[in-house]
Amino acid sequence: MTDVSSRDEVPPPTRRERVRAATVQEIKQVTRRLLVERGPQQVSLRAIAREMGMTAPGLYRYFPSYDDLLVELVADMYGELADLLIEEREAVPGADPGCRLVVTTRAFRAWAVAHPREYGLLFASPVPSLKEIAAPPHSCSSVHLSGMRFGNVFVEAFFELWGWRPFPVPADDELPGGLVSQFVGYRAELAELYGDEIAQVPLGAFHVFLACWVRLYGLVALEVFSHLHFCLTDVEPFFEANLEDLAAQLGIPAETVRRGRPVR
């Protein structure tokens, strides 16, 4: 038992495995570069292969299909985005949970604006495939898992704030009956992940969390898709105003929001 090699731990990667992993990485990088530089329409297996000095069928040694390649790329980008948000949040030393949530939110919008093509791939999936809907609730695909990981960045920041300094939320009997049972289920799911302190959070906090997420999503999506262009040429002040509003709802003082505001 003390012998390391006797266990079936990960054996050291062979040379072959290393170059294979490197190729997989290069394929994803090239795919993403094509997406960014030439748009989603111009991304094709043949274009990727051409860019790498090989032919399209060769890529099938690494991905079972074009869609699988995209799916894996999406999962990677969800992960990257989650990492970035956490990183930016931790880069503010000694920040209170309110500030940390604001930083996370602002970083999300900044990433979306800076990476509109990637954002489109992640958050404007054409239409969810029907099988995904029919899938059992806990059978999580790779995308689903990464998506969860991303979402949980906000979940953590939000409930960290709640634990630090609770804010007003609707009482249980103020929530529609149809919502209560669903929030109970979601809370239980999160409690399984984060421990029992989550189980003490009132259901109204989940309602507020979702409402905030809805607003943030709408804000960023509309900006990235240029759907606010009909009245706003510069969306940033509008975003900051909404952020301040959102923060106020969570008991975060405007001064905390303004402190981290990017200079312009």
Partner DNA sequence: CAGTGTTAGCGAACGGTGTTAACTTTGAAG
Partner DNA sequence: CTTCAAAGTTAACACCGTTCGCTAACACTG
Residues near DNA (CB under 7 A) are 14-16, 20, 23, 43-47, 49, 53-58, 60-62, 65-67
Is residue 203 within 8 A of residue 183, CB to CB? The reply is yes
Structure tokens at 249: 């709802």
55 binds, among DNA, a copy of itself, none (CB under 5 to 8 A by kind): DNA
Q: Tell me: does residue 241 bind a copy of itself (CB under 8 A).
A: yes
User: Residue 61 binds which one of a copy of itself, DNA, none, with CB within 5 to 8 A depending on kind?
Assistant: DNA
Question: Taking CB within 5 to 8 Å according to partner kind, which of a copy of itself, DNA, none is near residue 46?
Answer: DNA
Q: Dihedral of CA 59/64/66/70: which sign?
A: negative
What minimum distance in Å lies between the beta carbon of 84 and a copy of itself?
20
Rounded Cα gap, residues 4 and 11, in angstroms = 10
Name which position in 82, 157, 175, 247 contacts a copy of itself (CB under 8 A): 175
> What are the DSSP calls for 207-254, one per residue?
HHHHHHHHHHHHHHHHHHTTTTTTT-S--HHHHHHHHHHHHHHTT--H
Cβ 241 to a copy of itself, closest distance in Å?
5
Handedness of CA 186, 154, 219, 245 (dihedral sign): positive
Between 58 and 202, name the residue whose CB sits nearer to DNA: 58
Output the CA angle 36-39-45, nearest 5 degrees: 95
CA 191 to chain centre: 20
Q: Which of 221, 214, 215 is nearest to 241 (CA)?
A: 215
Site for a copy of itself contains 207 (CB under 8 A): yes
- Distance between CA atoms of residues 53 and 4, nearest Å: 41
Comparison of 24 and 148: residue with beta carbon closer to DNA: 24
The nearest distance, CB 124 to a copy of itself, in angstroms, is 4
Answer with the entry of DNA, a copy of itself, none that 23 interacts with (C-beta below 5 to 8 A by kind).
Answer: DNA
Question: Which phi and psi (to 5°) does residue 121 adopt?
Answer: -65, -35
Select from 114, 218, 248, 253 the one that contacts a copy of itself (CB under 8 A): 218
> What residues make contact with a copy of itself under the rule CB under 8 A?
39-41, 116-117, 120, 123-128, 132-133, 147-148, 151, 175-179, 182-183, 185-186, 189, 206-207, 210-211, 214-219, 221-222, 225-234, 236-238, 240-242, 245
